Amino acid sequence: MLRTVISDLARLRLGNGSVSITQVREKGHLNRPRLRNPHWFLRKKRTVHDDFVTSENRNFVKEVLHHTYNSSALTRDEQTHEKKLTNETIPEKQPWSQELRRCGVIARKIGQYPLWLKNGEKIRTTLLQVVDNHVIKYVPPEEYRPTRRPNVPYSKKYGCVLVGAESTDPTLLTKEYCGLFSNSGVMPKKNVARFMVSPQSALEAGTPLNVRHFRVGEFVDVRGKTVDHGFQGVVKRHGFKGMPASHGVTKTHRRPGNIGGGGEKGRVWPGTKLPGHMGNRWRITKGLRIWRINTKYNVLWVQGSAVPGSTNGLVYIYDTILPLRKPKDAPPNYEDNTLIEDIWFEQVHNFKDESITYKPE
């Protein structure tokens, strides 16, 4: 016994000497930088000093703005449609297939109201407005470096499309942030988001995106940040029942009660529902049907009222990943100029139609 221990020790000492060459650190992944912010995470707002600019100078700045962006710059809620040619190369367009992943859009949740189906049933819909979207940049899969190296072997399948929404006054933004937009020829945007796309469906920088990206009757996933409720107790956060208000109950009216067993399992198990911060998380609602589209105001009517986020909050709309609800046809053509202002799904009752009647049997 003693002998074996000594021999072990000796082997260890021996090993130590040789390990200096073939050192294997098991916890090496801890030393790796865990999070590298993407290159578009820049300080957005400039510290505006009160530097007494004369009105002439202010006008001059405005003039320069108009000159550089050559558009009805800074008109609110307007979709700017000009497209500038850049010398960026994107892969050739290929015929559509169901496996391809398309770019999404940035939208605002602007409210909800009911619609009625043709059989008289009422449905609740949420209105999402696609707000002045432009493609800013496309990064092909070989060059794209994700913020965090995924655990699965990264197959480099998808490229990254950077999309901006809502043009804004560049004088309020930092130089670096405005630099993001310089190659695409679009005005600096308030919001930027990235969408992972298949290289076949990559988009050129400067391409405007609007509601015609989607078709009525198809399904979308909507990602948004839920309403922030702050630190909440267990009754509000997880819907616990609490305890009685009287009958000898003291000081435990809205508390969780028991949170674990004893004996072998005498600890709080991971995942136990406890008080904590509620809301302000990114959540995706999947498989919402598009009931109606308004091309004038770029609004989608989407099934249900469970879209994450508050009214006037920002959401991202993707094609659904649910396998049975994926689109069966190729996406609508952008260049198609036959514009109908209001597009209704065939099951939805158009308010311009006559009242619904049922045929007697």
Q: Which residues bind other proteins (CB under 8 A)?
A: 77, 110-111, 113-114, 116, 120, 122, 127, 129, 294, 297, 299, 310-312, 349-360
Q: Output the smallest distance, CB 158 to other proteins, in A.
A: 33
CB closer to other proteins out of 219 and 301: 301
121's enclosing H/E stretch is none
Both tokens assigned to 75: 């008109």
16 CB neighbour count, 10 Å cutoff: 9
Q: Output the smallest distance, CB 343 to other proteins, in A.
A: 14
CB closer to other proteins out of 99 and 354: 354
What's the DSSP call for residue 48?
Answer: -
Q: Output the smallest distance, CB 298 to other proteins, in A.
A: 9
What's the DSSP call for residue 91?
Answer: P
Q: Is 105 exposed, middle or buried (0-12, 13-18, 19+ CB in 10 A)?
A: buried
Q: Output the smallest distance, CB 319 to other proteins, in A.
A: 24
CB closer to other proteins out of 103 and 222: 222
Q: Output the smallest distance, CB 299 to other proteins, in A.
A: 7
CB closer to other proteins out of 135 and 211: 211
CB closer to other proteins out of 98 and 350: 350
CB closer to other proteins out of 180 and 293: 293
CA–CA distance from 155 to each of 92, 129, 149, 150 (Å)? 21, 34, 11, 10
Task: Tell me the residue ranges of DSSP E strands in the chain.
Answer: 105-116, 122-130, 133-139, 159-167, 189-197, 208-209, 219-225, 230-232, 276-278, 282-294, 299-303, 314-319, 342-344
Cα 305 from Cα 293, distance rounded (Å)? 17
Scored b (16 or more CB within 10 A) or e, 326-356 reads ebeeebeeeeeeeeeeebbbeebbeeeeeee
Q: Output the smallest distance, CB 118 to other proteins, in A.
A: 9
The strand pair at 219-225 and 314-319 is best described as antiparallel
CB closer to other proteins out of 26 and 354: 354
Q: Output the smallest distance, CB 352 to other proteins, in A.
A: 5
